[in-house]
Structure 1
Amino acid sequence: MAGRPTVRSRRLGAALKKYRLVAKFDQPQAAEVIANHQARVSRIESGHVVARPIEIRVLLAAYGMDDPEVCGRLEKLAKDANRRGWWHEYAERLRPDYVDHITLESDATHVRDWHPAIVPGLLQTPAYAEAVMRSGPMSLTPERREFLVQVRMRRQVKVAESGTVREFIIWEPVVVHPMSSAEVHREQLAALLEAGETENVTIRVLPFSAAVLAGTTGFAAFSFGAEPTAEAVTVEHLGGTLVLEEPEDVAPYEHTFDLLRSAAMTPEESALNIRNALRSVDGH
């Protein structure tokens, strides 16, 4: 593989590096295991080269990692490293970092999403998404907005089809105060209630009283195994999307989400909060 590493090849490389460090192997020793040069191990771990299945099996065996599920998952990552996803038809018109986000989202078994200012993208209605883009700081043409809304709706469909477990935390002002027109807000609140009744989806509302926590930057955390332990995080900023994959970078976000969840309403309380907000949209 040449050029820019894919998010999957980076995940594969990072996993192999993690197991190497746990086993207290250095790169020259790992190179001896696969009868190759240290440069290849380095490029595998950086994601610039995709390890072959036999290399993955031999390295994991040398590192003392004999869990067949781990081996199978890493071999699948290697197989899929350069595979084109459903988003390929849109890729030329999307930023590479946004493509990375979609790839993580597509591969994840668990997605946890917190956004203090707006409804998370995976829950937005088309009208709400268009309103967010229209009123945001970036100047987008109507055609560009329409295209990005289309991609966002496709993301929602694909994640729902995959059975990914999704957990969302939304700050109460987002629920109570219309970001756009009453009609758009009403439709969005109804969509939240419907989504909250969907299997594998949990929605929690963070109350006004948790304002200090609500100052936390929005982010999405992704897990790829049976357990919901975060393995990658994306953080949106004005210049694009920051992708974090190193354990020491991911850990603070996982801790923050736990704090937000503890301070948030229960799913049942959250549904009642959203239902009350829906009733009051037009003063009823």
Structure 2
Amino acid sequence: MPAGGRPTVRSRRLGTALRQYRLATKLDQPQAAEVIASSQARVSRLETGHVTARVIEVRLLLDAYGVTDPEARAKLEELAKHSKEQGWWLEHAAHLRPDYLDHIALEDDATYIREWQPVLVPGLLQTPAYAEEITAGSPNYIAPDRVAQLLKVREARQSKIEEGGATYSAILWESVVARPLVRVEIHREQLAAILEIAQRKNVTVQVLPSSTGVLGAVTSAFSTFSFDSEPVVEAVALENLRGTPVLEGSEDLTAYANMYDLLRSSALAPDASARLIRSLLRSLKEDAS
């Protein structure tokens, strides 16, 4: 069983792919069970991610489903090999919501991470001071020791981008950079950090101008994740009052991929975005002098 007694992101991704391939070949679960000499119940649990498929089971099922693409096969075999691995974030599991753990697991596996944020600086770009002030100022009381734990997790998440482990793109609504939600000195430090991080080869930051009208208000914050050499959206994490649910349905993935493309095409180019942020930073410094 996946660690923690619940489907992991990896086991769920593997199960979803196996189910899609099975349905494409019009085989039912009893027929798939015969292929791996097991029960229909096991096939059902494999497809929901409640148990992790062994590599040999994956190979046999892909043979039966007619999947010959070497890359597709290798991807699913890797998921089977690593689905039970204990990610670094699980040592913090007692302090984190299950949906947040899923979000971190997606980030850890992703080759492309794309994020839209209309209110706050994204967690992957936040300075420690900004993160602490935002977390401590949450309307839901968070004990100081838990704030420290959350900041430690956020710092660990950022190492993925710092080490070049994924291509990261962020689109920020103009108000995120133009209207401080934290103390001005912390906001200045945060803007400077965004400019510095945006210079990395694997990072792109764009600002969506307020002049675009209602576009920035039509959807809440979300992140999309891709796991291969091409940025095809394979999972979406939303941000709302109740947490960060993950979407994996094909229609949902298409809708959010299209929305991100619309936001990106409407946003300022990276160079123009950097100029805007530098201008805002200069204004804040002049006001402070």
State the partner residue of 1:239.
242
Quote the offset at 1:268 in angstroms. Answer: 0.7
> Distance between the aligned counterparts of 1:23 and 1:46, measured in 2?
18
Deviations 1:32-62 (A, max 9, x none): 2223222221110000111111111111122
Q: 1:225 aligns with which of 228, 233, 237?
A: 228
> Distance between the aligned counterparts of 1:18 and 1:267, measured in 2?
38
Quote the offset at 1:85 in angstroms. Answer: 1.2
Gaps of 5+ in 1: none
Question: Greater shift after overlay, 22-31 or 207-216?
Answer: 22-31
Deviations 1:6-53 (A, max 9, x none): 111001001111222222322222222223222221110000111111
Q: How many residues align?
A: 284
> Distance between the aligned counterparts of 1:169 and 1:9, measured in 2?
30
Q: 1:131 aligns with which of 112, 129, 133?
A: 133
Does the CA-based 8 Å contact 1:182-1:282 persist in structure 2?
no
* 1:26-175 matched pairs, under 5 angstroms: 26-161=28-163, 163-175=165-177
Residue 95 of structure 2 aligns to a residue whose secondary structure is coil
Q: 2:278 aligns with which of 257, 275, 278?
A: 275
**Structure 1 pair 63/227, CA: closer, same or farther in 2 (3 Å)?**
same
Does the CA-based 8 Å contact 2:222-2:238 persist in structure 1?
yes
Paired AA for residue 64 in structure 1:
G
- Relative to the length of structure 2, the TM-score reads 0.94
State the partner residue of 2:263.
260
Quote the offset at 1:137 in angstroms. Answer: 2.0
> Distance between the aligned counterparts of 1:206 and 1:56, measured in 2?
44
Deviations 1:151-195 (A, max 9, x none): 101110134325200010000111111111111011000001011
Q: Alpha carbon RMSD of aligned pairs, Å?
A: 1.4
Residue 92 of structure 1 aligns to a residue whose secondary structure is helix
Paired AA for residue 251 in structure 2:
E
- Relative to the length of structure 1, the TM-score reads 0.96
Does the CA-based 8 Å contact 2:220-2:240 persist in structure 1?
no
Paired AA for residue 125 in structure 1:
T
Paired AA for residue 225 in structure 2:
F
Return structure 1 stretches of 4+ with deviation > 6 angstroms. Answer: none
Does the CA-based 8 Å contact 2:12-2:47 persist in structure 1?
yes
- Give me the identity figure in percent: 56
> Distance between the aligned counterparts of 1:141 and 1:93, measured in 2?
11
State the partner residue of 1:189.
191
Quote the offset at 1:104 in angstroms. Answer: 0.6
Residue 237 of structure 1 aligns to a residue whose secondary structure is coil
Paired AA for residue 160 in structure 1:
E
Does the CA-based 8 Å contact 2:161-2:202 persist in structure 1?
no
> Distance between the aligned counterparts of 1:184 and 1:44, measured in 2?
48
> Distance between the aligned counterparts of 2:21 and 2:164, measured in 1?
28
Does the CA-based 8 Å contact 1:13-1:44 persist in structure 2?
yes
Deviations 1:105-146 (A, max 9, x none): 000010001110011100000111111112222211222212
Paired AA for residue 241 in structure 2:
L
Quote the offset at 1:282 in angstroms. Answer: 3.2
